[in-house]
Amino acid sequence: MEVSLVARFTGRLRPLAARHRPSNAGQGLVEFSLILPLILLLLLGMMEFGVAFNRQLTLEYATREGARTGASLVNGGGTLGCSSGQSPNAAAVDPQIVAAVERVLKEPPNDVPILRPIDINQVQGIRIFEVTSSGTITGKGNDWSYSAGAGPVIDGQRLDFVQGSVSWSACSRSNANPPGSIGVSIAYGYSFITPLGTLNQLLARMWRDEQNPPLNNTLTMRDRTIMQLNPTQ
């Protein structure tokens, strides 16, 4: 009889203890809400980095093609020099260089499938500059800026870039011994595809304590390639 009473009393206590047992469901939800922003930040970062890296590869290939074209053409043919009768095709050299760059930016070659076209209207400028035979960048160069359909005609199509300042004429590019070098550089305004760009600008404003700096969602990418001018035979 005593055993039966103890069993009944114990049985009544078990539901009471179960009702007062703490639940772990709320703790798991809190932990997930804390880690979720980090997971999203990681995923967005991976996506943004992949696109930005692809854009950078396209810029590298474009400057390489431009520098290769410039190194091959040198002064455009004919006798070196800027006097009458010398370098008769010098005026066509830089447009050919820019055309080579533009082709890659618009339609990357099929033999490099990883490359993707970029928004050419976001190219801030193309510069063709002089490098001496010793590798010194002299500061002389020619600048081209974006202007849709306003450039010179190359192979029946107008370029989307027009020439601005000129301080290094093609007729002065010497490939005599020792030959100089030519450099081609590009500045490109990369637009973020995720909210990371805005977040980056907000953090920059907080850390630098600037007075209302302009917020934008772009990042300037730059690339340049330097190649030696094809030496005289």
Give residue 37's pLDDT: 83
Let me know if residue 121 belongs to a domain.
yes
Let me know if residue 127 belongs to a domain.
yes
Question: Residue 33: is its pLDDT beyond 90?
Answer: no
Judged by average pLDDT, the poorest of 43-52, 59-68, 160-169 is 43-52
Let me know if residue 109 belongs to a domain.
yes
Let me know if residue 196 belongs to a domain.
no
pTM: 0.80
Report the DSSP pairing between strands 157-158 and 161-166: unpaired
Where does 108-224 have alpha helices with state H? 196-208
Residues 191 and 218 sit within 8 Å (Cβ to Cβ): yes
Domain ranges, residue 67: 49-190
Let me know if residue 96 belongs to a domain.
yes
Give the rounded percent of residues in the chain with a pLDDT score beyond 70: 79
Express each pLDDT in 91-111 by its tens digit: 999 999 999 999 999 999 888
Let me know if residue 28 belongs to a domain.
no
Domain count, the chain: 1
Judged by average pLDDT, the poorest of 60-64, 152-156, 171-175, 198-202 is 198-202
What is the full DSSP assignment across 139-160? EEEEEEEE-TT-S-EETTEE-S
Let me know if residue 38 belongs to a domain.
no
Q: How far apart are CA 22 and CA 20, in angstroms?
A: 6
Let me know if residue 213 belongs to a domain.
no
Q: How far apart are CA 226 and CA 111, in angstroms?
A: 23
Give residue 206's pLDDT: 60
